[in-house]
Amino acid sequence: HKCFALVKDVKVFVSTEDNQPYLSIPCSEHKITSAVWGPLGEFVIAGHENGEINQFSAKSGDILKKIKEHTKQINDIQSSVDNTMFITASKDNTAKLFDSTSLDHIKTFRTERPVNSAAISPIMDHVVMGGGQEAMEVTTTSTRIGKFEARFFHAAYEEEFGRVKGHFGPINCVAFHPDGKSYSSGGEDGYVRIHYFDPQYFDFELEV
């Protein structure tokens, strides 16, 4: 089947149960692996399996902008709380920060393993990333070798300042609570772990 980005009106669906999308955007070359709304809902930002990022018009479905900053598949895209920036997580072992409107590349956060998910703190200049080895390789390695920690980076300095262990398999998804006082991670091990930050976390300043 051909890949499509489908846009549906929730109000119409709830009131009439009409499940037809009002916009269908075909993607003939490389399938979409993650997508988020841009500022004011004017466009959709989509990540593709070849590492490309496209900005689609929410009215016409036309491609407004296209960039390729990743060398491998984009696994996840998440927006900042004000929608001005978004972060991508990729199989190329990096997460990258972009401007939502211009798609300008702002920062890069590097690891030694594929990154499955990344999120931006709503109150601090921090990002959290999760990932690890491919699931099929996990059974042959120890948990330390698998790199199953959630990793925290400073958004401005691109420096790693903390890791949180706990999962017994790759982390597939991470998210900050809207109040920024905790974060959650979901892993290949079937667990969702909710972590509440200590008071010291909010006073921490990275020395560079």
pLDDT digits (tens, 9 = 90+) for 74-130: 999 999 999 999 999 999 999 999 999 999 999 999 999 999 999 999 999 999 999
Alpha helices, H only, 17-153: 143-146
Amino acid 17: pLDDT: 67
Instruction: Give me the residues paired with residue 89 across strands.
Output: 76, 95
Question: Closest Cα to residue 168, out of 186, 153, 182?
Answer: 186
Give this prediction's pTM. Answer: 0.89
What pLDDT, on the 0 to 100 scale, is given for residue 208? 66
- Supply the pLDDT for residue 145: 54
- Contact status, residue 84 vs residue 92, Cβ threshold 8 Å: no
Average pLDDT for runs of 10 along the chain of length 208:
85 73 84 94 94 94 95 97 97 97 97 96 96 67 65 95 92 97 96 95 82
pLDDT of amino acid 38: 95
**Spatial distance between the Cα atoms of 7 and 44, rounded to a whole number of angstroms:** 9
Measured over the CA atoms of residue 152, residue 155, residue 159 and residue 161, the dihedral's sign is negative
Q: Check: CB of residue 188 under 8 Å from CB of residue 169.
A: yes
Two structure tokens written together for 92: 């190329």
Comparing CA positions, the residue from 67, 116, 72, 119 lying closest to residue 92 is 72
